[in-house]
Structure 1
């Protein structure tokens, strides 16, 4: 099947390809990517990749209880033996990200019958706050979330059961990338499916069944974390919400009001 494009489409896809290539070149050309937490992630990948190598002594200082956890996608990807080293694998990881991010936005916009030219605005968010901080799992989960939402919309419109398989795969991928995002997407899926099929109990049950294995995996991982010598995820989130977030709201509101001049007026918020 031959696809014909008009001049505007050719111009759009040409610009889109150019922007992707420019960002890909930037990723490739840098010796070190300027993302704050990235060195720690690469260190973990190096330890995991060479953990059983007798030339290294990682086993004397570290232990790997299990890889059956969330937020381990970058670790597993960059430690694959198909790559010469973890830094090369990391470049491939971010190349995949800069390609998938605009394409996932484009696919979602087309699914919503929107103006595809707005896809070009996605490049403004490519190196967002989470990216430059080196939050690898959150970073790669964003385009996957856009793909997930696109397939969710298709499923709700067409109601084809085979699309549930893709939805489950996307949710599982998001879980491996970022635990909190997986919880949020499960909530979005639950609400969307419930509102759509609330008058059809059979369809509702079939649709919600996709969440059961994922919730089971989440519980297994959480219970395993809770048995460790470190603070569990949910207890950490509750403590953060109680001690840091709520108590810090006055400062956050003051920062919002003075925004760009916060550092010039920090005495207004910190008293210093």
Structure 2
């Protein structure tokens, strides 16, 4: 059988295929051997290796299982997310992978309702605005909405994570998409606050200098109780797994929760906004 030369620099998809071939050949396996182990056809393996077929999340996770790469920096799932989420900030695709496996999620946002809590209409207004400002393309906007839908779906898995959310008051007072869109978004927040695995709090403007974060922060607790932090600026995201830097962020989050409104007070504020305009 002819062996095509691969150029991993051609595209992320080509790099994925080359990595798959190199991993397979390093173990002395033929495509049929790998196909059997992954429960795919030999032709499917060949198409992915040659960059003719896009890898899927299921395919990537199956490859990680076969090659013993689950959760590693060199995993196929990580490469898959780099392909699929090319329009997202650096560090965010990797964060999404952790978020989908976390048992506890802590969020803090400024100015915008956190993505996990957004209605589709609210999220679409934000992406359409970014397209109009030529920050992203329509295709990238569609990709962002697709990724968001996948993230939100993970909250409905059989054993959903505990989600602790603190929003700066600006998140609910910044009117996005007009009265209809914002009204539905505020109603959604009230619904989410009723779920047993979600705690929703607003950090009011009145706490002033006692606000412990000046940028959005995401903190994840994994099943093995390790923690991952993710923070982003306007142009870049940063994933941190170092205990020495993550634990102080957790402490700051606890301090912020102590200054924030209770969930009952938060729901009351949201309901008051639903009755009028900002």
Greater share of residues in helix: 1
More strand by share: 2
TM-score by structure 2 length?
Answer: 0.29
Bigger relative contact order, structure 1 or 2, given CA contacts below 8 A and separation 6+? 2
After TM superposition, the score normalised by the length of structure 1 is: 0.29
